[in-house]
């Protein structure tokens, strides 16, 4: 195919969307989508939820069936890795020994699981959960697992714990902080989910680390905690966060800082290279520093969410296709399914100094409205999808003008408030 060439490195949700959106935007050049995993590009969220539980099959994971890529003239290179960006030569080197001459590179390289640096972490039965291969192995192990230890009480760890409990395993969750999901949710929401998991049957140790993983010489049998306890575990899940895959950009001389540094248009310092999704560190008003009344400019953040990857991919594709685009300014939103509880978050609630409840946690249907001073910065909703939708609309405007008292008052009409804004 004649014309300019775009190479998209990373075939996850963001990379797939970038390649797909280039065609939707009318880009007529060559599009190459490179993924280091074999098989078709797939969705990751179900891996720790319905797929892990055996409620959905592999066909339901595919982002699109194989004929889609042929029809859209997207060259899909699977089981292939990019090893270097030759900026002067405008080409991308591949692990297989070849190279792709390209006019633009979109880095959608995602992130990898952070390793647990303790003795025994390499024993059989100690696993991460990030890829389809990981999920397949965990599905198989859960059939026979008796004692499961989950190290890390973030979204993935708690989602896996919920599935493991339902499968009949004894589950012990270890979290080094005192607040599960504390990196992304308020204290109220964290307490609610902690109590829910205990109610379902999990044992939870907070403020506790791992000293080592014990085994029989080959397989894991137990976890020794930092406070000296020994917890039986024939299956140990390590979920202590991720590391952004920023090495390609770094080695090409581009700035990296908890991800690949990009501007408000998601471009690096090299205008021919963009970065999107889990690997991109970008400026946004939703991470503005300071308190309400003194919010200063745009802070920077790296987000791990489907919404962020998809929206950033669409933005970059439009720009590469020659469309005029505004600075990236989408409202971040996230979700987590844990048994019968659906948590939905709009905005970034980290840094709030006031949180008010709307609804009753006892009913398993409530929202936490988070404020910095008197400015709404995010909303966490449990089994209240209407609140979540309104929150996304409220946060999209420059000043929602919703007070803490209004948010806490169930009789106050949020939809009408949005209409007035």
Q: pLDDT tens for residues 235-262? A: 999 999 999 999 999 999 999 999 999 9
The Cα–Cα gap between 170 and 201 comes to 8
Question: 369 phi and psi, to 5 degrees?
Answer: -95, 120
What value, to the nearest 5°, has the Cα angle with vertex 309 and ends 184 and 179? Answer: 10
Token match 């009789």: residue? 411
Burial, 186: exposed, middle or buried (Cβ in 10 Å; 0-12, 13-18, 19+)?
Answer: buried
Q: What percent of the chain has pLDDT over 90?
A: 92
Q: Are 259 and 270 in contact (CB under 8 A)?
A: no
Q: DSSP code of 363?
A: G
Reduced to 3 states, what is the DSSP secondary structure of residue 357? strand
Q: Which CATH superfamily is domain 340-420 in?
A: FAD/NAD-linked reductase, C-terminal dimerisation domain (3.30.390.30)
The pLDDT value recorded for residue 292 is 40
CATH 3.30.390.30 domain locations along the chain:
340-420
Instruction: Residue 274: name the closest of 291, 293, 252 by CA.
Output: 252
The pLDDT value recorded for residue 419 is 81
pLDDT at 294 over 50: no
Reduced to 3 states, what is the DSSP secondary structure of residue 161? helix
The Cα–Cα gap between 198 and 243 comes to 29
Average pLDDT over residues 339-367: 96
DSSP assignment of 233-276 equals -SEEEE-S-EEE--HHHHHTT--BSSSEE--TTSB-SSTTEEE-
The Cα–Cα gap between 232 and 154 comes to 21
Structure tokens at 90: 């405008």
* Sign of the dihedral through C-alpha 12, 17, 18, 20: positive
Q: Are 283 and 275 in contact (CB under 8 A)?
A: no
pLDDT at 297 over 70: no
Reduced to 3 states, what is the DSSP secondary structure of residue 1? coil
pLDDT at 399 over 70: yes
Q: What percent of the chain has pLDDT over 70?
A: 97
Neighbours of 205 (CB within 10 A): 18
Q: Are 76 and 11 in contact (CB under 8 A)?
A: yes
Residue 342's Cα: distance from chain center in Å? Answer: 16
pLDDT at 296 over 60: no
CATH topology of domain 115-240: FAD/NAD(P)-binding domain (3.50.50)
Question: 183 phi and psi, to 5 degrees?
Answer: -70, -20
pLDDT at 291 over 50: no
Give the up-direction half-sphere exposure of residue 132: CA atoms within 13 A in the CB hemisphere. 17
Average pLDDT over residues 3-26: 97
pLDDT at 288 over 70: no
Average pLDDT over residues 150-168: 97
The Cα–Cα gap between 156 and 337 comes to 10
pLDDT at 293 over 70: no
Token match 């895959």: residue? 245
Run of H or E including 387: helix 385-396
Average pLDDT over residues 192-221: 97
Average pLDDT over residues 123-137: 97
Residue 49's Cα: distance from chain center in Å? Answer: 14
Predicted model pTM: 0.94
For residue 36, what are the β-bridge partners? none
Q: Are 211 and 224 in contact (CB under 8 A)?
A: yes
Alpha helices in 105-145 (DSSP H): 132-142
The Cα–Cα gap between 131 and 372 comes to 36
Per-residue confidence at 418, pLDDT binned at 50, 70, 90? confident
Instruction: Residue 372: name the closest of 352, 357, 391, 356 by CA.
Output: 352
The pLDDT value recorded for residue 183 is 87
Least confidently predicted of 146-155, 218-227, 241-250, 288-297 = 288-297
Give the up-direction half-sphere exposure of residue 278: CA atoms within 13 A in the CB hemisphere. 22
Token match 């010489």: residue? 217
The pLDDT value recorded for residue 421 is 66
CATH topology of domain 5-112+243-320: FAD/NAD(P)-binding domain (3.50.50)
Residue 380's Cα: distance from chain center in Å? Answer: 16
Reduced to 3 states, what is the DSSP secondary structure of residue 371? strand
Residue 28's Cα: distance from chain center in Å? Answer: 31
The pLDDT value recorded for residue 3 is 83
The pLDDT value recorded for residue 217 is 87
Per-residue confidence at 1, pLDDT binned at 50, 70, 90? low
The Cα–Cα gap between 8 and 35 comes to 9
Which residues touch 415 (CB under 8 Å, ≥6 apart)? 390
Neighbours of 107 (CB within 10 A): 33
CATH 3.50.50.60 domain locations along the chain:
5-112+243-320, 115-240
Q: DSSP code of 130?
A: S
What integer best gives the mean pLDDT of the chain?
Answer: 95
pLDDT in tens, 35-84: 999 999 999 999 999 999 999 999 999 999 999 999 999 999 999 999 99
pLDDT at 295 over 70: no
């Amino acid at each position: 195919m004649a014309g300019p060439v775009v190479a998209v490195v990373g075939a996850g949700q963001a990379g797939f969307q970038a390649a797909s959106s280039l065609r939707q935007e009318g880009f007529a050049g060559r599009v190459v989508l490179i993924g280091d995993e074999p098989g078709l590009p797939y969705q990751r969220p179900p891996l720790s939820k319905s797929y892990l539980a055996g409620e959905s099959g592999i066909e339901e994971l595919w982002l699109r069936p194989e004929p889609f890529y042929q029809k859209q003239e997207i060259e899909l290179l699977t089981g292939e890795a990019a090893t270097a960006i030759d900026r002067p030569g405008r080409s991308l080197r591949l692990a297989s020994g070849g190279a792709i001459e390209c006019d633009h590179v979109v880095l959608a390289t995602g992130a990898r699981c952070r390793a647990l640096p303790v003795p025994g972490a390499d024993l059989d039965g100690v696993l991460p959960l990030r890829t389809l291969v990981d999920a397949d192995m965990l599905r198989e192990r859960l059939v026979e697992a008796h004692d499961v230890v989950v190290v890390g009480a973030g979204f993935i760890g708690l989602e896996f714990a919920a599935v493991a409990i339902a499968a009949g395993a004894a589950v012990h969750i270890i979290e080094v902080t005192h607040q599960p999901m504390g990196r992304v949710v308020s204290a109220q929401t964290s307490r609610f989910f902690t109590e829910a998991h205990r109610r379902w049957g999990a044992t939870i140790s907070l403020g506790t680390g791992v000293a080592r993983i014990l085994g029989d010489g080959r397989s894991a049998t137990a976890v020794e905690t930092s406070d000296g306890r020994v917890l039986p575990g024939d299956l140990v899940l390590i979920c202590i966060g991720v590391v952004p895959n920023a090495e390609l950009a770094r080695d090409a001389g581009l700035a990296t800082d908890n991800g690949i540094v990009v501007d408000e248009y998601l471009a690096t310092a090299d205008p021919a290279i963009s970065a999107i999704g889990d690997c991109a560190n970008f400026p946004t008003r939703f991470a503005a520093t300071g308190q309400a009344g003194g919010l200063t400019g745009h802070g920077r953040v790296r987000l791990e969410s489907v919404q962020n990857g998809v929206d950033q991919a669409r933005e970059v594709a439009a720009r590469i296709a020659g469309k005029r685009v505004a600075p990236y300014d989408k409202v971040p939103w996230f979700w987590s399914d844990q048994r019968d509880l659906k948590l939905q978050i709009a905005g970034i609630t980290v840094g709030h100094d006031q949180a008010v409840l709307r609804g009753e946690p006892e009913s398993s249907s409530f929202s936490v409205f988070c404020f910095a001073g008197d400015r709404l910065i995010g909303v966490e909703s449990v089994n209240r999808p209407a609140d979540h939708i309104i929150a996304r609309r409220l946060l999209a405007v420059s000043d929602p003008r919703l007070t803490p008292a209004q948010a806490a008052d169930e009789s106050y009409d949020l939809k009408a408030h949005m209409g007035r804004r």
